[in-house]
Chain A
Amino acid sequence: MDCQKCKNLISEYLEENLDSSQKKLFEEHISGCRKCENELNQLLDSWELLDEYSVPELSEDFTLKVTHKVHEQARTNDSEQANLWDKIVEALTLKKVAFLPALGSLIILAALGYSLLKGGSVGINQQPEISISQKAQIVRDVKDEEIIRNLEIYQNVEMLENLDVLDDLETLENMEEEK
């Protein structure tokens, strides 16, 4: 085993993860190589030295303090929940509805503004677009109107006032011809 191979295995050796044959080869190299032996010893010694890191005694009332903190936290959580509920209730009380008309106006203005910007058909200058079939209908209606206007009887407004439906106009015209 060379030094590089030994270096690669040193971690596994320290953690006692090498199988017996690898361990034997590793230890053989260490016993014959001063440099690798030093490296290993320093690692082992520094690990050993960590034992010196003692910790002071824990206070005797540790568990009691934890219990107090738990109850304190529970109370805080409860009061936070209660505060949240109070805020919701407060927001919904009548005392706080003074802002509602202002809010309503704001919403209406916003909707109006949006419609204007969108170019919606709310203005008096804009007429709804007319489809082809509707145009045909209008043309037909105009022709009908011309026909009606051409009728002699139509000239006499007084007579027209006594008529209920346009369908009767033709009959009246016929009557006129007969006269």
Chain B
Amino acid sequence: MVTELENLKDEELMLQFQKGDEACFRTLVDRHKKRVFHLTYRFLNGSPDAEDVAQEVFVKIFFSKDSYKPLAKFTTWLFTITRNTCFQNLKKKGKLISLNEKADETNSEMQSMISDRNSENPSETCLDEEKRRIVADAIAKLPETQRMVILLRRFEQLSYDEIAEVLGVTVQSVKSLLFRGRCSLKDLLKEYFNENV
């Protein structure tokens, strides 16, 4: 039965779920949980709330199943709800965790990683972690909509049309937001490249 469900497309699963089959809902969660979590984690700058927010997205999917219409791709609807939930979370919390706070957190995370993993090459792990932190900080500095466009394009490989639908803007706006985001990232990461040349 589970295998049968796994063969179904998202839209078909959603239609079955609308008829009351909760197993289809669980299959959708299993299929998309990583993508949703990756987006919430990166958008919320590695906030500890990221997993809760991702769970909230699926809870919303469950209770708004009747509003789903199979005209658009399921993932477009899913990412629209994810975007709304992320934005609501930011509003609720005021602003992102301050970068200093985040950096402190990341440093302690990094130290525990080094001691826990018994890595053969701690300096390499440290360097990777530093790169990760630099990129995370650069993304966190982007305005919210620009950040969302960058994440949807770079990590989720959504098309311009899909991003436009998720954000409720025109394709031209998406192109413009994307390019401005790329230029900002280039400027923010310039220091890293200068140090490593």
A65 at the interface (CB under 8 A from B): yes
A171 at the interface (CB under 8 A from B): no
Q: Are A52 and B29 in contact (CB under 8 A)?
A: no
A105 at the interface (CB under 8 A from B): no
Q: Are A63 and B30 in contact (CB under 8 A)?
A: yes
Q: Which of B78-86, B87-95, B184-192 contacts A (4 or more CB under 8 A)?
A: B184-192
B128 at the interface (CB under 8 A from A): yes
Chain B residues in 8 Å Cβ range of A63: 26, 29-30, 33
Interface string of A11-49 (1 = CB under 8 A from B): 100110000000000000000000000000011011101
Please give the number of chain A residues whose Cβ is less than 8 angstroms from any Cβ of chain B in the complex.
Answer: 26
Chain B residues in 8 Å Cβ range of A58: 33-34, 37, 51, 54
Task: Given the known inter-chain contacts A50-B135, A55-B38, A62-B51, please indicate yes or no for A73 contacting B59, CB distance below 8 A.
Answer: yes
Chain A residues in 8 Å Cβ range of B51: 58-59, 62
Chain A residues in 8 Å Cβ range of B178: 11, 15
Chain B residues in 8 Å Cβ range of A93: none
Residue of A nearest to B34 (CB): A58
Chain B residues in 8 Å Cβ range of A47: 154, 182, 185
A37 to chain B, nearest CB (A): 14
Task: Given the known inter-chain contacts A58-B37, A66-B29, please indicate yes or no for A52 contacting B131, CB distance below 8 A.
Answer: yes
- Apart from A47-B185, A62-B51: 16 A-B pairs, beta carbons within 8 A: A46-B190, A46-B193, A49-B135, A50-B139, A50-B154, A53-B42, A55-B38, A59-B51, A63-B26, A63-B33, A66-B33, A66-B55, A66-B62, A69-B56, A70-B62, A73-B62
